[in-house]
Amino acid sequence: MDDEWICGRLGEDEPWVLGAVNPPVFENSLFTFATAEELGEAVRNEDERYVYWRGTNPTVDLAQRKLAALERGERAKCFGSGMGAISATISSLVSAGDHVLVLGAVYGPTTQFLRYLEKFGVTHTHVGDLTTGDSAIRASTRLLYFESPSYMAYAVVDIAEVAAWARERGLVSVMDNTWSTPLFQKPLTMGVDLVVHSLSKYIGGHSDLVGGVVVGPSRLIRPLALTEYQLYGAAMSPHDAAKVIKGLRTLPVRMAAHQERGLAVARFLADHPAVRAVNHPGLPSHQGHAIATRQMSGFSSLFSIELATESRDEVASFLDKLRHFRIGVSWGGFESLVNAPALSTEESVRATMGIPVGLVRLSVGLEAADTLIKDLGLALEGVGRLA
């Protein structure tokens, strides 16, 4: 099935759409039934039947079908936030006394959630690579969680190798694929069990929604949909689902532009004397570039650089000098954004992830690359003098 067709047309020609160019937004909070028996049957299968907004909704369901098809998964479940998807997914796979193995650097709030689970008897261990994985596994380990490219450092792992390693040890593998989107990387086809995304980023694409999704086989999605999704209450609204559907329509075009502009900016920064390193998998100088080109069909425009400084004040000054890049969290929209973990991330989380003081994250938007390069060049003047 062609990705562009999935993004633009899948499910949008069905009778219930009534020929509308934009699929209808079902605003109702509940659905009624002709008989009590019909209601009972629907409630027993609320992961697939329309009963109440907290379960599912035709507009949300269309977004889920598109996302599942893009990831080549059987089913998808959309949530009211990325962390809603992540926390429900992890919770569905572990119980008190279980252990989670985390490979590489992952999204900061994911680590915070794993720490939160300690109060319920669920522990976790971070490992840098698979060479130390076996020594960290316990009899109670149930889950391997990872990202590729990884959080902030954008290190790349061999996804098929990691998935096979987990399966051989009886672990369920969960991967955050937000960085690449389903267009540029399809972890389920490489053996990963479940994939999660923040829909607030590239898939939404306009910084106007918060949402998340988990995609995978029905045997794992169905119990999650019936239990954690219902009980946590992190339901996606039909209005946000409509934004996801509209974002998907332009996703192929936007990602091509993000890739082009992101690589142009990354190449400029790689040659700048005030920059120690550029962490962009699309650059041949990146340690994981060969693996990335083998398992990815493209590159997004989110990456990090390490400034030639150990001074938090100098990092802050660099951000303040930027005029076109805006200072803010999140990424994936039209606007270009910049953020520095040393100024905004909990120290213990940053230490766990091995993030240096001089690391700055850039989200290259859809503005002209020349404009962004000029902005960065002016802000970099003088960086490193305090080092």
C-beta separation of 80 from 212 below 8 A: yes
C-beta separation of 98 from 140 below 8 A: yes
DSSP state of 368: -
Residue 187, both tokens: 């972890």
Verify whether residue 370 is a known catalytic residue.
no
* Distance in angstroms (rounded) separating the CA atoms of residues 322 and 356: 21
Residue 321, both tokens: 């000098």
Verify whether residue 243 is a known catalytic residue.
no
* Distance in angstroms (rounded) separating the CA atoms of residues 48 and 61: 9
C-beta separation of 99 from 140 below 8 A: yes
* Distance in angstroms (rounded) separating the CA atoms of residues 292 and 259: 14
Helix (H, G, I), strand (E, B) or coil at 126: strand
Within 10 A of 222 (CB to CB), how many other CB atoms are there?
A: 16
Residue identified by tokens 């076996």 is 134
Verify whether residue 75 is a known catalytic residue.
no
Q: In what order do the strands lie in the sheet with 275-279?
A: 275-279, 302-307, 359-363, 337-339, 326-327
Among 47, 176, 193, 375, the active-site one is 176
Among 54, 65, 115, 249, the active-site one is 54
C-beta separation of 67 from 204 below 8 A: no
Backbone angles phi, psi at 143, to 5 degrees: -140, 140
CA 277 to each of CA 271, 356, 359, 360, 361: distance values in angstroms, whole numbers, following the listed order: 9, 11, 9, 10, 12
* Distance in angstroms (rounded) separating the CA atoms of residues 281 and 265: 13
CA 306 to each of CA 259, 290, 381, 385: distance values in angstroms, whole numbers, following the listed order: 20, 22, 15, 15
C-beta separation of 26 from 58 below 8 A: yes
Length of the chain as a residue count: 387
Among 50, 98, 107, 193, the active-site one is 107
H or E stretch covering 279:
strand 275-279
Helix (H, G, I), strand (E, B) or coil at 198: strand
Verify whether residue 107 is a known catalytic residue.
yes
Among 77, 201, 243, 261, the active-site one is 201
Catalytic (active-site) positions: 54, 107, 176, 201
